[in-house]
């Protein structure tokens, strides 16, 4: 970051002396006012619920311009990465800062592939869960448990430990997600295959059985890979900030990533695509396409409590750049599987058309977001709705690791310690119980 010549001046109407605050600029995006010495100079904190106006760190990984609808990984537009690179190339980019050449890609892919199996004891750990447990509950436990199985990569301050932990997490998350799914439906686990692609291997572990050979459909393989790329990182969102805050205490990488998985589970974050499909199924149960008008009327009525899931985005004030890419993939997958006339997907397409044309939604820029389309794609592929967030966690793991590595390598990083505006009782004395 670059220190600007000019400064911000904070003045007070009560006659207290004003304070000058440094201003820093990044490569692109808004400048920041440095308030690190504010408490020492004024005895006051800033108040920013949700940290919506606070930069908690400096980062060179991902940049979002919500007004322009722009998403960059290490400077590369998401549109180019999703159409010209695969997921493991994107992983390499996020971890190391540059796209790999052919030799680097082959070496990185081999390292990931060699770590796709998990310790056999993980199967017995898995048996401690109920069969009907939510996959995210299972996954949170499995990722956290990795620190109990891989003792040689738990020192977060050791770059080599973080490196091997990163490879292990990227490699083993597809295996763990597939194991959680298979456990829930009572099917035997499928061991990974080293001759398949990252996405192809995941599809086989999910849908293959020992009874017959599983043939990977290249259209579904490409769709799965694109889902992974589009969800690989998204700047300082809730789960990424959780990973950074957790990691700032010095806990091991597996525990920090498990914290990210737990945060991602929330319906306002990673659970959004699950909530979107649940919404579509509720409309279908009400009567489907014929009842969309009723549903839209409820959405427009502020007192109804009905929300339109999968439309609009907290960051993107224009179109979510990932949504157009996912829309293309959605149409490809539905066409490949012959599902264009499936009632639920016809319903989704009708809802999409209304949202893109209705003035109420257009004026509020409530365009379909990536969650809307990725949920449809995953359901078409055969992934159950309650596993959608697990797929998101699988894809986002590399972003969390890259952010964690960046934080640990930053000489300015400190353990996170947000402040508060206390509104409880002032100091008071305990009265003997007989007098209360």
Look at residues 55, 70, 95 and tell me which one is the last residue of a structural domain: 55
DSSP string, 192-216: --TTS-HHHHHHHHHH-BTTBPPPP
Q: Same structural domain for residues 202 and 240?
A: yes
**165 is a domain residue:** yes
The least confident of 166-170, 345-349, 409-413 is: 345-349
CA distance 317 to 307: 18
Mean pLDDT of the chain: 92
Report the length, in residues, of the chain.
436
| Given the residues 86, 225, 233, 371, the one annotated as active site | 371
Let me know whether 124 and 263 are in one domain. Answer: yes
Q: Exposed, middle or buried, 201 (CB in 10 Å: 0-12/13-18/19+)? A: buried
Do 12 and 130 share a domain, yes or no? Answer: no
Regarding whether 358 and 269 lie in a shared domain, the answer is: yes
> pLDDT-based confidence at 378, cuts 50/70/90?
very high
Q: Do residues 212 and 85 share a domain?
A: yes
Q: Respond yes or no: is residue 313 known to be catalytic.
A: yes
Domain match, 162 and 300 both: yes
CATH number at residue 16: 2.20.28.60
Same structural domain for residues 33 and 113? no
In this structure, of 94-98, 150-154, 413-417, the range with the lowest mean pLDDT score is 150-154
What digits encode the pLDDT tens for the residues 313-338?
Answer: 778 877 788 988 998 999 999 999 99
The verdict on 149 and 25 lying in the same domain is no
DSSP structure class, residue 416: -
Residues 236 and 155 in one domain: yes
Q: How many other CB atoms are there within 10 angstroms of residue 159's CB atom?
A: 11
Which whole-number Å values give the CA distances from 190 to 176, 177, 179, 180, 193, in the listed order?
Answer: 11, 12, 8, 11, 9
Distance from C-alpha of 260 to C-alpha of 397, rounded to nearest angstrom: 8
User: DSSP assignment of 368-410, as one string?
Assistant: B-HHHHHHHHHHHHT--GGGHHHHHHHHHHHHHHHHHHHHHH-
3-state secondary structure of 277: helix
pLDDT(306) > 90: no
Residue 430 placed within a domain: no
User: Residue 326's domain spans which residues?
Assistant: 80-413
Is there a domain that residue 66 lies in?
Answer: no
Higher pLDDT residue, 311 or 198?
198
- pLDDT of 309: 83
pTM of the predicted model, to two decimals?
Answer: 0.91
Number of structural domains the chain divides into = 2
Angle ∠(207,212,213) on CA atoms, nearest 5 = 75
Tell me whether residue 373 is in a domain. Answer: yes
| In contact, 235 and 64? CB cutoff 8 Å | yes
Looking at the domain assignment, is residue 363 inside a domain? Answer: yes
Give domain status of residue 392, yes or no: yes
Is 371 considered catalytic here?
Answer: yes
Please check whether residue 46 is in contact with residue 52, taking contact to mean a CB–CB distance below 8 angstroms.
no
For residue 194, is it within any domain? Answer: yes
For residues 95 and 401, give the distance between their C-alpha atoms in angstroms, rounded to a whole number. Answer: 8
Beta partners for residue 311, in sequence order: 368
pLDDT given for residue 165 in this prediction:
93
With respect to residue 270, please indicate whether it lies within any of the assigned structural domains: yes
The residue ranking higher by pLDDT, 271 or 419, is 419
| Same domain? 290 vs 375 | yes
Give CA–CA dist 272/320, Å, rounded: 14
User: What is the CATH number for 155?
Assistant: 1.10.580.10
Q: How far apart are CA 88 and CA 225, in angstroms?
A: 9
Choosing from 134, 231, 234, 313, which is the catalytic residue?
A: 313
- Residue 26 sits in the same domain as residue 152: no
Regarding whether 137 and 48 lie in a shared domain, the answer is no
What does 143-161 look like in DSSP terms, one character per residue? HHHHHHH-GGG--TT-HHH
For a pLDDT cut of 70, what percent of the chain falls above it?
100
- Does residue 273 register a pLDDT over 80? no
Tell me which residue has tokens 């157009």: 324
């Amino acid at each position: 970051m670059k220190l600007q010549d000019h400064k911000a001046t904070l003045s007070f109407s009560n006659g207290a002396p004003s304070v000058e605050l440094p201003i820093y600029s990044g490569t692109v995006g808004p400048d920041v006012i440095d308030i690190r010495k504010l408490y020492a100079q004024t005895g006051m904190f800033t108040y920013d619920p949700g940290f919506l106006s606070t930069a908690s760190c400096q980062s060179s990984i991902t940049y979002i311009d919500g007004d322009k609808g722009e998403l960059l990984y290490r400077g590369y537009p998401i549109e180019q990465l999703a159409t010209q690179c695969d997921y493991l190339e994107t992983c390499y980019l996020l971890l190391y800062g540059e796209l790999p050449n052919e030799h680097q890609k082959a070496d990185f892919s081999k390292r990931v592939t060699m770590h796709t199996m998990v310790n056999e004891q993980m199967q017995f750990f898995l048996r401690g869960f109920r069969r009907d447990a939510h996959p995210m509950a299972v996954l949170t436990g499995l990722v956290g448990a990795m620190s109990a199985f891989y003792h040689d990569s738990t020192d977060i301050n050791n770059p080599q430990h973080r490196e091997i932990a990163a490879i292990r997490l990227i490699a083993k998350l597809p295996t763990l997600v597939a194991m959680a799914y298979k456990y829930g439906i009572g099917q035997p686990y499928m061991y990974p295959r080293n001759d398949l692609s990252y996405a192809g291997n995941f599809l086989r572990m999910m849908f293959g059985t020992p009874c017959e050979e599983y043939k990977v459909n290249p259209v579904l393989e490409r769709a799965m890979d694109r889902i992974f790329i589009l969800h690989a990182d998204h700047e300082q969102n809730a789960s990424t900030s959780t990973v950074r805050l957790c990691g700032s205490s010095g806990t091991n990488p597996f525990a920090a990533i498990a914290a990210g998985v737990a945060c991602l589970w929330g319906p306002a974050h990673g659970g959004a695509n699950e909530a979107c499909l649940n919404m579509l199924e509720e409309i279908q149960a009400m009567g489907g396409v014929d009842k969309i008008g009723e549903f839209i009327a409820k959405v427009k009525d502020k007192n109804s409590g009905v929300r339109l899931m999968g439309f609009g985005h907290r960051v993107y004030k224009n179109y979510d750049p990932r949504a157009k890419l996912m829309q293309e993939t959605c149409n490809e997958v539905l066409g490949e599987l012959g599902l264009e006339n499936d009632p639920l997907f016809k319903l989704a397409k009708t809802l999409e058309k209304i949202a893109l044309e209705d003035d109420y939604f257009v004026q509020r820029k409530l365009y379909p977001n990536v969650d809307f389309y990725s949920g449809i794609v995953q359901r078409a592929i055969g992934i159950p709705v309650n596993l959608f967030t697990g797929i998101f966690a699988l894809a986002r793991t590399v972003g969390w690791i890259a952010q964690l590595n960046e934080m640990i390598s930053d000489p300015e990083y400190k353990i996170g310690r947000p402040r508060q505006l206390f509104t409880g009782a002032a100091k008071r004395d305990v009265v003997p119980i007989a007098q209360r």
